[in-house]
């Protein structure tokens, strides 16, 4: 655009304004300005800080992985509950061994058969574990609470008969923070066709569950 010369009088009146404006620019934006690029408000976060800082709603998990299940029960207990079984047990393959692990012991000694399963399941939060616990409670209704085991626990025993052969099975489910411990213990007598007593199966399942919960809480492998 073509510039037009200003009248001398107007030029004289604007000159001090131009000088002051130029001085202001030099102090605020020009070479005399104080460096501000590196300064940040105390409340500002860098991109790295924002990415690494935990969310305000994120819940810290007590357990991040399931312990080795075959180490969750003592050899003495295995020998007592499953006579004749290898005390080392056998771990069942899992689709996610960090979050779900199961060990199994079973044996036939004479005509007496016993089977014991111990499982650990680690979930995202205490709430998720509680929902799963309540769902299992509904599936296995008819049992009773087990005081002093984890944050909450219950046991239930059922008798089934197939081809005149009885089998009695006890299940204990315990919740400890964001993890569940599930114990299944059953037995049969192939000579008498009868099943072990409710008391035997229930006490055996609870004993195994107590050891498994202790192994979870101490992080024992």
pTM of the model: 0.72
Q: What pLDDT is stored for residue 15 in this prediction?
A: 42
Element (H, E) at 197: none
Is it the case that residue 161 has pLDDT exceeding 70?
Answer: yes
- What is the spatial distance between Cα 102 and Cα 81, in angstroms, rounded to a whole number? 17
Residue 213's pLDDT band, with cuts at 50, 70 and 90, is very high
- What is the spatial distance between Cα 201 and Cα 221, in angstroms, rounded to a whole number? 26
In this prediction, what percent of the chain has a pLDDT beyond 70? 72
Q: Secondary structure of 92-127 in the HEC alphabet?
A: ECCCCCCCEEEEEEEEEECCEEEEEEEEEEECCCHH
Beta partners for 91?
Answer: 103
Q: Which of 36-50, 158-172, 189-203 has the lowest mean pLDDT?
A: 36-50
**Among residues 184, 187, 181, which one has the least CA distance to residue 200?**
187
Is it the case that residue 155 has pLDDT exceeding 50?
Answer: yes
Q: How many C-beta atoms lie closer than 10 Å to residue 84's C-beta? A: 14
- What is the spatial distance between Cα 185 and Cα 211, in angstroms, rounded to a whole number? 14
Cα 66 from chain centre: 8
**What is the average pLDDT score of the chain?**
81
């Amino acid at each position: 655009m073509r510039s037009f010369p200003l009248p001398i009088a107007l030029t004289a009146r604007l000159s001090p304004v131009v000088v002051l404006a130029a001085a202001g620019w030099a102090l605020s934006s020009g070479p005399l300005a104080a460096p501000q690029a590196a300064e940040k408000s105390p409340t500002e976060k860098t991109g790295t800080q924002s990415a690494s800082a935990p969310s305000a709603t994120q819940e810290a998990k007590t357990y991040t992985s399931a312990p080795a299940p075959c180490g969750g029960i003592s050899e003495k207990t295995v020998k007592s509950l499953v006579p004749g079984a290898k005390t080392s047990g056998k771990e069942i393959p899992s689709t996610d061994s960090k979050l779900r692990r199961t060990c199994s012991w079973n044996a036939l000694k004479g005509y007496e058969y016993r089977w014991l399963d111990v499982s650990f399941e680690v979930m995202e939060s205490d709430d998720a574990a509680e929902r799963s616990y309540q769902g299992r409670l509904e599936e296995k209704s008819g049992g009773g609470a087990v005081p002093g085991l984890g944050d909450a626990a219950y046991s239930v025993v059922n008798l089934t008969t197939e081809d005149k052969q009885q089998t009695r099975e006890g299940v204990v489910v315990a919740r400890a923070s964001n993890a569940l411990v599930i114990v299944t213990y059953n037995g049969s007598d192939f000579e008498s066709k009868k099943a072990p007593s409710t008391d035997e199966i229930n006490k055996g399942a609870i004993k195994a569950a107590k050891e498994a919960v202790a192994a979870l809480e101490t992080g024992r492998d």
